[in-house]
Amino acid sequence: FRLPTLLFRPRFHSTMTALIEEAKRAAAKVAVEKHYPQDARWVGIGSGTTIVYVVEAIKALGVDTSATKYVPTGYQSKQLIIGAGLTAVEFDSIPPGTIFDVAFDGADEVDEDLNCIKGGGACLFQEKIVAMQAKEFVCVADHRKLQPRLLTGWKTIPIEVAPIAAHRVLLKLKDLGSVNPFIRVSASEKEGPLKTDQGFFIVDAPFPPLLIKSDVAAGKDVHGKDGVWAVEELARKINEIAGVLEVGIFHGQTGPQATAAGGVGGQRPV
Ligand code: 5RP
């Protein structure tokens, strides 16, 4: 049985990869065509692999971008903007009170209420401040990311924490019902904990799937019995822990207007 597996796996793998990239590109194209204002002056640009296709789609619109400032959410994002020939302005250099016309970003998971888990790429803090500065936050997620509840497929909540407080935060997360939260290590584990663009650590905290509005309306307890929390309550509890810079749960506070599209053989905007 081994030989066919060895022979066929590479081709299967590359076909799957191509289909996933196609889904990301399709989602990005729909999101940009629907939500990019022709006269945009300030645009937030998120992080990850899907956002690459967002920038590609912005360029493909053919609109005049010479007066538009693009605000990155980290190092990769800034390089992406500059590489596309667009103008990058870092968040700490924007004029006070500037509101972005729109901010685009990817997500690790999106639920039925359009709440998101973000931070798979460790950029969640800058992603959140950029999202909260925008009139409209467009979260671009292909079909793989849509789930009825957060933490169905993606099992942990990324949380950015001050290194000095990381072990304290782990204990507090356990008190909230997280089983075995851990500090994310860098790709080459020898370098130890992964450092964010702020020089902070990422803690990944497993929790059971998070309750959505319909669960709450049906009377389910939102307060963490057996570690089961509603989205907003858990986001608030985690952000209250001293040592936490930001949590990778994006919910109503950012006014997300998520756009999810993609899939093999067609687009499925929601
Ligand atoms: C980075 C993020 C990314 O947006 C998220 O991880 C999705 O990435 P990708 O588009 O590569 O699937 O939150 O912190």
Output the CA 6–ligand 1 centroid distance in Å. Answer: 31
* Mean pLDDT value of segment 23-33: 97
User: Which segment of 13-17, 84-88, 117-121, 208-212 scores lowest on mean pLDDT?
Assistant: 13-17
User: Which segment of 21-30, 50-59, 182-191 scores lowest on mean pLDDT?
Assistant: 182-191
Per-residue pLDDT, 16: 86
Q: Which of 25, 118, 147 to mutate to test the pocket of ligand 1 (most atoms within 8 A of CB)?
A: 118
Q: Which band of pLDDT confidence, cut at 50, 70 and 90, is reported for residue 259? A: very low
Q: Which band of pLDDT confidence, cut at 50, 70 and 90, is reported for residue 13? A: confident
pLDDT tens column, 243-257: 999 999 999 754 434
Nearest CA to ligand 1 atom 1: 121
Label residue 113 exposed, middle or buried (CB < 10 Å: 0-12, 13-18, 19+). buried
Helix (H, G, I), strand (E, B) or coil at 172: helix
The complex scores an ipTM of 0.99
Choosing from 33, 109, 112, 127, which is the catalytic residue? 127
Given a cut of 70, whether residue 258 has pLDDT beyond it is: no
Percent of the chain past pLDDT 90, that is, above it, reads: 81
Nearest CA to ligand 1 atom 10: 50
Residue 22 is among the residues annotated as catalytic for this protein: no
CB 111 within 8 A of CB 147: yes
Q: Which of 123, 143, 147, 259 to mutate to test the pocket of ligand 1 (most atoms within 8 A of CB)?
A: 123
CB 194 within 8 A of CB 202: yes
Q: How far apart are CA 235 and CA 247, in angstroms?
A: 7
Output the CA 219–ligand 1 centroid distance in Å. Answer: 33
Does ligand 1 come within 6 angstroms of the Cβ of 87? no
Sheet containing 42-45: give its strands across: 87-88, 69-72, 42-45, 102-105, 137-141, 259-260
pLDDT tens column, 161-175: 999 999 999 999 999
Does ligand 1 come within 6 angstroms of the Cβ of 122? yes
pTM higher than the cut 0.80: yes
Given a cut of 90, whether residue 187 has pLDDT beyond it is: no
